[in-house]
Every structure is written in structure tokens, then in C-alpha cells.
Amino acid sequence: MFLGLLTVMGIALMGSAAPETGIDPPPGLHELDWRAHRHDAPFPAGPPLDEATLATARAWEQTRPHRSRSDTEVIGYLAYWVDGLEGLRYDVLTQINYFSAELQRDGSISSLHGWGDEASEQLVALAHAQGCRVCLVATNFDDDDLHDLLSSPANRATAIDNLLTQVLALNADGVDLDFEGMNTEDRDHLVAFMQEMQTAFEAAMPSPWLTLATPAVDWGGAYDYDELMYASSGLFFMGYGYHWSGGD
């Protein structure tokens, strides 16, 4: 089966010339896939899980270790439009990011794409039974939406509350932010959002995992990598397809 949008932490960077000033970068691979499959149905549930698997998962959730079982993070984005869960290698993955919940400018979630259904409940149990985390991906690819969301303390609080509710509902492990196309003026707003989310999640659950996707090169200076690192469990450097139409 297909584990959609597979990303491994720590992708090496390749050299490239900066794009010309005033030219908007093309949409990333996550956004292109989201556009192509936005109206697809989420994958179906499989056969009911046996009691031994469920008991093992619940036992892991009682301790929920602060560190991964491996020194090497292997984190896959699982797209909701895949055929099903058969064949997922929970034994080699350390984290699965469920793609995705569509976060709106007011902090509401317009679509969960199957998160909360029986299939996603099975995913969480199967992963936890083998010591693998599951996080919900929150997506938004519109710079105007992101500005309204991130610049408003009220909207940020609404978003954090909604995401926390969804994570706790499935006894999952945290959130991965996939915000792309963000404007430079929202640099500090994104840091505030991550800091506020970190505080809220740490107060509500043990050992939450908060990660976010960042560009391999931040042409506009929209990402404060240092502060985002301190306010999260890790950053994804999106280095795949590292080229642009006018580059070398």
C-alpha cells in the first residue's frame, strides 16, 4: 500500500540559486496532493482489532514515553485517501502523521477527512501497540488565511482548543503543523502559536509531540527556526523536489 507523503527528519540540503524577487514559489508537494485528493473519501476501517492488540496499545498509552524507541526518527505522512492500513510498517516507524485536518482562518476545522472515524481509531491502536506515535496534521496553504489565524490571539486559541479536542478524542500523541506560503509579517505570530499550543498540550496530556513542516530555505524570513525548535518536538525540512523553474 502507499504511505503518502513520506518524509524523514533531517533531509540534506542541496545548493540552488534564490528565485527572482517578486515571483511566488510554486505550491509544495503536500499542497499539490491535497488539491488532487481534497474531495476523496477517507480509507475504510479494517476488521475489528483483537483484544490483545487493544490491551497492548492501552498499556503503552498509560506510560506514553517522552522519547522515541529509536534514536533515529522515521516519520511518515499517512494520506487519508490511501486504500487502507494493511501493510503499514509500524515496527520501523516512530511517528505517523495523519494527513489532514483543514484548519480555517478563524481556528475552526472545516474537514477532518476521516479523523475520529473507526479507521483512524484502529490506526492509533495498531501504532501504539508497537510503540509508534500518531499525530494529526493541521493544514492551511493560504497566506491570507494564515495571517488571520496567526495574528489573532482569539483565533489561535480557538485553533489550539479544537486541535487538542481532536487529539484527546482518539488518545493520539500530538499535532503536526503543515502551514505553507506564510508571509514574513507572521513570523512572530507563528512562534506565539507554537508556544501557546505547547503550553496547552503539556497541561492536558503527558509527553505531547508537536512538530511542524518548514521550508529547506526560508527565502522571505518567515520562520524563526530557533524559537520554533524550542516550542516544538522537531522541525521537518521539506527538501524534496528541491528546485524551481528558473534555478539550476
For residue 25, the model assigns a pLDDT of: 63
Q: What is the DSSP string of 33-92?
A: HHHHHTTPPPPPP-SPPPHHHHHHHHHHHHH--SS-SSSS--EEEEETTSS-STT--TTT
DSSP-assigned beta bridge partners for residue 68: none
Amino acid occupying residue 179: F
Q: What is the pLDDT of residues 76-132, one digit of tens each?
A: 999 999 998 988 999 999 999 999 999 999 999 999 999 999 999 999 999 999 999
Q: Do residues 129 and 53 make contact, with C-beta atoms less than 8 angstroms apart? A: yes
Q: Using alpha carbons, select from 32, 11, 19, 5 the residue that is nearest to residue 214.
A: 11
Q: Quick one: average pLDDT of 148-172?
A: 98
Give the Å distances, CA to CA, from 117 to 167, 169, 216. Answer: 13, 11, 34
Give residue 12's pLDDT band: very low, low, confident or very high (50, 70, 90). Answer: very low
For residue 13, the model assigns a pLDDT of: 30
- Reply yes or no: is the peptide bond before residue 152 cis, omega within 30 of 0: no
- Evaluate if pTM is beyond 0.85: yes
